[in-house]
Amino acid sequence: MTGPVPATPAPPPAPSPPSLEVSGLAFAYPDGHQALFGVDFSIARGERVALLGPNGAGKTTLVLHLNGILTGGAGTVRVAGLPVDREHLAEIRRRVGIVFQDPDDQLFMPTVREDVAFGPAASGLRGAELEARVGRALELVGMDGFGDRPPHHLSFGQRRRAAVATVLATEPEILVLDEPSSHLDPASRRELADVLRSLDVTVLMVTHDLPYALELCPRSLVLSDGVIAADGRTADLLSDDALMRVNRLELPYGFDPRSVPAAPR
């Protein structure tokens, strides 16, 4: 007699797709200005990555492709495996949350709570579930006691964290931050850094603040003249004098990236 047939082991789960895949992305504006010439990179789920580059490098054009504000060029963009196209646009815009450089562009309701509730409410969330979502987003940014405050009564740093909460309330896959440290005093920079380190989301940080990129982002991309000129450890890129010089990147006077601990992964 033969014994029982051993069960076939279940196949391992398929790896989840990267949070962001950009392949061959090229784009020209209607006036003929070519902003992107074939951008390629991938960002894994949970990574914090800085996007560096001089003014005019194409950073804004690239970011506007991530949630379908700009389309029509060559190449592809995928968010968590979904192509950024008309069919998936609503879901893409939920998954890619952009925090603007000026928080006043993002806060327009009478209270912070209403601002944070706006996105999920527009997606159909109501009642206790909406309240829980808002409370959680405010807690994540250290603003859980500020829900009933008018945004214009907050400090600039508090408004920036409230703007982050408005995006977190939609539970995005990727948090894109445009110059998050601009106009912040040292305490507000630290508070925002603490928030960003605590989040369980993928972060793409567009910044000219190279020390902040080093503090928060283990990896950086250098975009220059519409292409990715470098992709690697932030500390290594900022320590490469030739790379910095040719891409018009400059560290603050006296700042040595080799003397600073690397950002934790």
What is the per-residue pLDDT for 131?
94
Q: How confident is the model at residue 258 (pLDDT cuts 50, 70, 90)?
A: confident
Residue 62 has pLDDT above 80, yes or no: yes
Residue with the two structure tokens 């797709």? 17
Query: Checking DSSP bridges between strand 227-233 and strand 82-83, what pairing results, if any?
Result: unpaired
Cα–Cα distance for residue pair 36/184, rounded to 1 Å: 31
- CA angle, corner 31, sides to 28 and 36, nearest 5? 20
For residues 88-96, average pLDDT:
92
Residue 153 has pLDDT above 90, yes or no: yes
Q: Which of 72, 62, 26 is nearest to 204 (CA)?
A: 62
For residues 235-248, average pLDDT:
96
For residues 100-128, average pLDDT:
93
Residue 262 has pLDDT above 90, yes or no: no
Residue with the two structure tokens 């931050």? 177
What is the per-residue pLDDT for 253?
85
Q: Which CATH class is domain 20-104+174-251?
A: alpha beta
Q: Which of 218, 221, 226 is nearest to 249 (CA)?
A: 221
Q: Which of 231, 243, 185 is nearest to 204 (CA)?
A: 231
Cα–Cα distance for residue pair 78/96, rounded to 1 Å: 11
Q: How confident is the model at residue 249 (pLDDT cuts 50, 70, 90)?
A: very high
Is 124 exposed, middle or buried (CB count within 10 Å of its CB: 0-12, 13-18, 19+)?
A: exposed
